[in-house]
Structure 1
Amino acid sequence: MENKLPNKDEKRDKQKPGMRQWVYGILASVLCILFVIWTGYYIVLLLIPVFIDIYITKFIPWASWKNVKNPRLRSILEWVDAIVFALVGVYFINTFFFQNYQIPSSSLEKSLLVGDFLCVSKLSYGSRSPMTPFSLPLMQHTIPFFDVKSYLEKPQVDYQRFSGGRAIEHDDIVVFNYPSGDTVALNRQNEDYYTICKEEGRANIWANKAKNGNIVYRPIDRRENYVKRAIGLPGETFELRNDTVFIDGKVQKEPENMQLLYCVQTDGTMIAPAIFDELGISNEDRAMIIPENIATLDSTYAVKLGLKRENGNSGLLYPNVPLTKEMIDKLKTRSFIWSVVKRNEYLKRRGAIEGHIYTQPPLYPVSYDRDIEYGDYPSTWIPKRGETIKFDKDVDYKVALYERCIKNYELNDFDYRDGKVYINGKQADSYTFKFDYYFMMGDNRDKSADSRMWGFVPEDHIVGKPLFIWLSLDKDKGWFSGKIRWSRLFTSGNKK
């Protein structure tokens, strides 16, 4: 039988789109239009002709690489096509909808644990526009193994938050970009740049590259992601007294799993490692718990410290034991436990007896020297969009407290000299804030680097809200001895 070559009309018939192609083309175009309505990114409308051509008209041979005769080259091109498609999809999802986040530190224990992997919703508070659009997905700021930036600094897009989200509420657990991470000493990335400048001098930090590395600036959305609890909202006044939070002068309910450091006194019995295991105290925390022999402590001194002395025995004192209320109740069931005293209360009592104050490390604002006892933070007003502060009294303090907001976050020229404030070159007696700000704290109150150390979180730094824990790994356990915390999987990531 004679083979017949297909004529032009037959080729044209074979290229006619089927129902599936029409559905895909129309669906892609509708989604594109909805995305533009949501974001206002009108340039995205240019993709509609591309989608129509890919699925329907097919003027451009988008998949011509599939006709490559060399099987090895075709296989490579297939992988490249799949990888590019996946990266584009991941970038789009991570930017506007959801992002993975791993808890790196114990600042929110026991609500969220080190090794918890969170699914973070960027829709909850309204998705934020990508301010640094040219960046690699799944990399916050550095390409692993190469130690080079994973983004291009230019162009930068102005901050915008799209509609659809709700406002942050009291006690929400929030993921945000670390505000004080705008400047970083690369060899000391785990330390706050402004604090080490205060302690060692800015000139010394910049001069000693061997110790500190290069000093770099990071755009807002390329700064480290942090997760804390929103304790104070815009326009409120925050205060911490004896480990108790006051908002506008009213006592606030404590998070259920809030953890503080305690001094635990025994009758001289050593606390066995099995008890620490039962309480869920990590190996890292145990390294801080070194028992002290207080046998020489006299009875009067012991009582003033909140401790016990019996038959000439003062027992052993375990300082810096991280405990929740539930953990304290469990510990007190042990007959050899004599007393459990808050570490901060213990230090205040000891300071009063010895005639001096045990003060915390530098707190925000670090440029304003003051002595603050453990467990306290002075009354502080949280800036709110549209509200105004006046530079009429306590100017030194107000400048120290709000300069970073005015200068670093709201991008004004700011100068303070001879007791007068100058904003954008003009003397100013007041300032009206452009952003809302939040006061964030960890539940592990005595081991949390939070707003008490580095200040307020501006609204443009808010990333999203943890939805659920999709994986939880205990770094102190092996794969066959309880490394996976099965009971935490798919539980809420926003525990109250």
Structure 2
Amino acid sequence: MATEIVKKKKGPIREWFDSVLFAVVAATLIRWLLLEAYTIPTGSMEKSLLVNDFLFVSKVHYGTRTPGTILQVPLTHQKIWFTDIPSYSTAIQLPNYRLPGFTSVKNNDVVVFNYPGCPERPDQFGGFDKYPIDLRTNYIKRCIGIAGDVVSIKDAQVYVNDKAVEDPDGLQKWYTVESNTSINPNLWKKYDVTERGSGTQDGKYYYAINATESAVNNLNGLDFISTIYPDIIEAGDETTPYKTFPYRADLMNWNRDNFGPVTIPKKGMTVDLSVEKNFALYKGVITTFDHNDNAEVKDGKIYIDGASISEYTFKQDYYFMMGDNRYESDDSRFWGFVPADHIVGKAVFIWMSIDAEGTFLNKIRWKRLFSLIK
């Protein structure tokens, strides 16, 4: 007589545990391989992306990175939720590889990446991010220049390979408005302008604003506006408080509005390090980001494995990123290049957007839901 095998029924606690485990594994795989959700915490991309925009970032566009820091609490980044306890261990670190994607980073893409920082950057200006590569702070910016491009900024106009770059619709800059009368704050709200300050002089009213070109054109059409001019720091201005990469004002006295030209490192590109400008621009890349295990700067020279080098060939591509909110963005002007292995993915669409100052039905920015990111 055959013996019937009866499968033992799982208890409710075991069923709950299995369900949670499956959900965590599935969410982790989707987050790693396909899409990851992000929230915009700062205004560095306003008005293109707004604070409290919730968006999906595609990992498959540029190719998914293999994990480097594998000892980590699932679905965390740097800290365990609601604590200051690290959510990872560096006891095991694997090399990062990138799976095949169906495109590469292009000029004008909106990209999420791990903030590399700059080894030479003073700590009070942001310093250098010492987390493992895949756990460094996530930034979102627009790719201005790809590997091999020559980027320069002249009087706030960006040029790539000597061609003026067309500004995205949401790009904002600082301006000063001169008016014959005081301006009602509701006017700024009407034209989606941010007032930064105001004052009077000789019977005139002056307002510092942050605005898009479209908003400035609307304001210029008002009869009580005398003039609007951009707040541009002149080339060579030594009084600017905005210290830019590579922090060598004696060689390159650049600022936020007049910067470069600078060539973005490209895999296979060789630079002459006897040229002082090249040494200043690329020494941090060589010693920190280009996967040289034993590289250092000593006595004004770069040493790799104990031998000084006079030229160098880059091992990976790099990118130059800038925020669309140009004067309120911490970007490549201030800390340098983004290495290819720091690229997380391409921002593709907004699935939710919340206005923290809105009330009831106005709390959700309905027009932004499921809109593509351009």
Does the C-alpha gap of structure 1 residues 134 and 410 become closer, same or farther in structure 2, counting only changes over 3 Å? same
> Structure 2: how far apart are the matches of 1:225 and 1:322?
25
Query: Equivalences for 1:389-400 in 2 at 5 Å?
Result: 389-394=271-276, 397-400=277-280
**Is the Cα–Cα contact under 8 Å of residues 87 and 137 in structure 1 kept in the other structure?**
yes
Give the TM-score normalised by structure 1. 0.70
Partner of 2:365: 485
Who is 1:262 aligned against? 175
Q: C-alpha displacement at 1:490, in angstroms?
A: 0.4
Aligned length: 372
- Cα pair distance change 1:419/1:153, threshold 3 Å: closer
Within the candidate set 415, 432, 457, 2:296 is matched to 415
Is the 2:38–2:56 contact (alpha carbons within 8 Å) kept by the matching residues of 1?
Answer: yes
Amino acid at match of 1:8: A
Q: Does 1:148 align with 2:29?
A: no
Q: Find the counterpart in structure 2 of residue 290 from structure 1.
A: 197
Cα 1:374/1:170, change in 2 over 3 Å:
closer
Distance 2:2 2:333 in 1: 75
- State the shift of 1:8 in Å: 2.9
Contact 2:318 2:338 in 1 (8 A): yes
Task: Tell whether 2:356 aligns with 1:475.
Answer: yes
SS at match of 2:88: coil
Root-mean-square deviation (Å): 2.5
What SS class does the counterpart of residue 291 from structure 1 fall into? Answer: strand
Answer yes or no: is 1:378 the counterpart of 2:315.
no
Q: Displacement, 1:325?
A: 1.4
* Cα offsets for 1:451-470 (capped at 9, x unmatched): 01111000000000111100
Which residue among 136, 139, 152 is the counterpart of 1:223?
A: 136
CA deviations 1:409-447 (Å, max 9, x no partner) are 123233334443322211211111111000000111111
The SS at the match of 1:84 is: helix
Point out which structure has higher relative CO (alpha carbons under 8 A, 6+ apart).
Answer: 2
The letter for the 1-side match of 2:123 is: I
Partners of 1:144 and 1:400 in 2: CA distance: 40
Name 1:328's counterpart in structure 2.
216
* Separation in structure 2 between the aligned mates of residue 198 and residue 225 of structure 1, nearest angstrom: 17
Matches of 1:428 and 1:403, distance apart in 2 = 11
CA distance in 1, matches of 2:256, 2:23: 50
Distance 1:337 1:146 in 2: 51
Q: Distance in 1 between matches of 2:361 and 2:220?
A: 28
The alignment status of 1:170 with 2:77, answered yes or no, reads: no
**How far apart in 1 are the matches of 2:25 and 2:46?**
35
Following TM superposition, by how much is the alpha carbon of 1:373 offset from its aligned partner in structure 2, in angstroms?
Answer: 4.4
* Alpha-carbon contact 1:422-1:428 (below 8 Å) kept: yes
From 8, 33, 52, give the equivalent of 2:2.
Answer: 8
The match for 1:276 among 188, 201, 210 is 188
SS, match of residue 285 in structure 2: helix
| SS of match in other structure, 1:359 | coil
Q: Which has a greater percent of helix?
A: 1
Tell me the equivalent position of 2:316: 435
Greater Rg, structure 1 or structure 2? 1
Within 5 A, what are the aligned runs for 1:88-487?
Answer: 88-180=25-117, 194-196=121-123, 217-269=130-182, 271-281=183-193, 285-286=194-195, 289-295=196-202, 313=203, 315-319=204-208, 321-344=209-232, 348=234, 357-366=238-247, 370-394=252-276, 397-412=277-292, 413-478=294-359, 480=360, 482-487=362-367
Q: What's the secondary structure of 1:465's corresponding residue?
A: strand
Unaligned ranges ≥5, structure 2: none
Cα distance, 1:420–1:323 mapped onto 2, change above 3 Å:
same
CA deviation map 1:17-61 (0-9, x unaligned): xxxxxxxxxxxxxxxxxxxxxxxxxxxxxxxxxxxxxxxxxxxx8
Q: Does structure 2 retain, via aligned residues, the 8 Å contact 1:103–1:117? A: yes
Identical aligned residues as a percent: 36
Deviation at 1:146, TM superposition (A): 2.5
**Cα separation, 2, equivalents of 1:415 and 1:136:** 34
